[in-house]
Amino acid sequence: MSAGIAFAREAEAVADALARYFDGLHHSDVSLLAQVFHPQAHYFSASDGHLLHLDMAQYFPIVAARPSPASQGHARTDRIVSLELAGPVTALAKVTCSIPPKAFIDFLTLVKLDGQWRIVSKVFHHHPMGAT
């Protein structure tokens, strides 16, 4: 298999993982998010002026408790802005999505373990929808 074909195959596999990530967020579905986040993943933001750092045991209950954008009839805005593979088992994705009233820019670091791409780090910024 050529390097280009292998790259394309891995990029497609990462995009599949990101699709589950977007689905999990849009439907507030922790079971989907648990498929794509590594159990030891970490979540960071400083959008509110202080460092927010959560592990998955702290993050998943927040997602489960909020009304899903889907249940409120909100349109999906998710998009993969860029995807870089640093090698056969390491990737970095810049993605955007929204959970009204906020829009998000996420930097997701993924690793491939046991044949599956998993998010190990989510670092993000949020702002009010419509603002830049």
| pLDDT one-digit tens code per residue, 11-26 | 999 999 999 999 999 9
Q: Are 20 and 108 a contacting pair, CB within 8 Å?
A: no
Alpha helix (H) ranges present in 27-125? 30-36, 56-65
Query: Nearest CA to 32 among 44, 42, 20?
Result: 20
SS3 state of residue 3: helix
Q: Which residue has the tokens 């794509």?
A: 36
Report the C-alpha gap between 46 and 88 in whole angstroms.
31
Q: What is the 3-state secondary structure (H, E, C) of 13-35?
A: HHHHHHHHHHHHHHCCCHHHHHH
pLDDT in tens, 66-117: 999 999 999 999 999 999 999 899 999 999 999 999 999 999 999 999 999 9
d(CA 126, CA 132): 10
Q: What is the pLDDT of residues 33-59, one digit of tens each?
A: 999 999 999 999 999 999 999 999 999
Check: CB of residue 117 under 8 Å from CB of residue 91. Answer: yes
What is the reported pLDDT for 132?
A: 62
Asked if omega into 100 is within 30° of 0 (cis), the reply is no
